[in-house]
Structure 1
Amino acid sequence: MGCVGLVNLTSINPHRLVLTNKIYNSRRPSSSMAAIRAESMATEKLGITVEKNPPESKLTQLGVRNWPKWGCPPSKFPWTYSAKETCYLLEGKVKVYPEGSEEGVEIEAGDFVVFPKGMSCTWDVSVAVDKHYQFE
């Protein structure tokens, strides 16, 4: 399928992806499409799930902006999750080291993150954090 010039951005076919005023058929692999899909997909590392820059529609649907807020200055401290935590970082940069791992997971402003219940870890905050959070 070729490119189409004009695109109605309010009605996008779920089998197509809009890129710079062109439509690409999502059934045909493309490195550009893979990069865009990766931006909106969550990844799991060391038990921590991170979604980079989730769409505002997702944040609104979940009511994230109404969740309580928490913040801290640059610091390093241990933490254990007594419940599953879902959070959205408004500001900051952190490297989280799950207990028993020398490898860490980097999270930063714009990340939507899920920490599992029971996880013990160390937070190494390099840039002051401000986040919305919810425990389940």
Structure 2
Amino acid sequence: EESFECGVTLRRGLSEEEVKRIEADWTGWSYSTLSVLDPKTFPWTYGETEQCYVTKGGAKVTPDGSDEVIVLEEGVLATFPKGMSCTWEVPDRIEKKFIFE
């Protein structure tokens, strides 16, 4: 497990059973910057603690007021704390499953 000062944690190497449960029970979300209408970067604030599992693609997340860069890639489970504000950078696309705690 990897932890960041901003409170984000990353976990890799989930078991096949964990991945199947996430894919069955969590909500899906996808974002693509392949269209000129969709910005490559956008601000976000977490109103609740969120866990997300990246199923395809990736992104970089930079917490406001921090030099830390959190790299999200396929197979990573990330936990974002409630109240955290950040900027998402999506080079091409990302697909994830998420749940609020």
Band the TM-score falls in, shorter-chain normalisation: 0.7 to 0.9
Larger radius of gyration: 1
Aligned to 2:30: 71
Question: Deviation of residue 126 (structure 1)?
Answer: 1.5
Amino acid at match of 2:76: D
1:108 is the counterpart of 2:73: yes
Aligned-pair Cα RMSD in Å: 1.3
Gaps of 5+ in 2: 34-39
The 4+ residue runs of structure 1 with deviation greater than 2 A are 57-60
Separation (CA, whole Å) in 1 of partners of 2:26 and 2:68: 30
**SS of residue matched to 1:126:** coil
Question: Deviation of residue 84 (structure 1)?
Answer: 0.4
Matches within 5 A, 1:9-48: 42-46=1-5, 47-48=7-8
Gaps of 5+ in 1: 1-41
Identity of aligned residues (%): 38
TM-score when normalising by structure 2:
0.84
**SS of residue matched to 2:19:** helix
Separation (CA, whole Å) in 1 of partners of 2:4 and 2:12: 13
Amino acid at match of 1:117: K
Matches within 5 A, 1:76-115: 76-115=41-80
Q: Which has the higher contact order (CA 8 A, sep 6+)?
A: 2
Deviations 1:96-118 (A, max 9, x none): 00010122111101101100111
1:51 is the counterpart of 2:51: no
Amino acid at match of 1:64: I
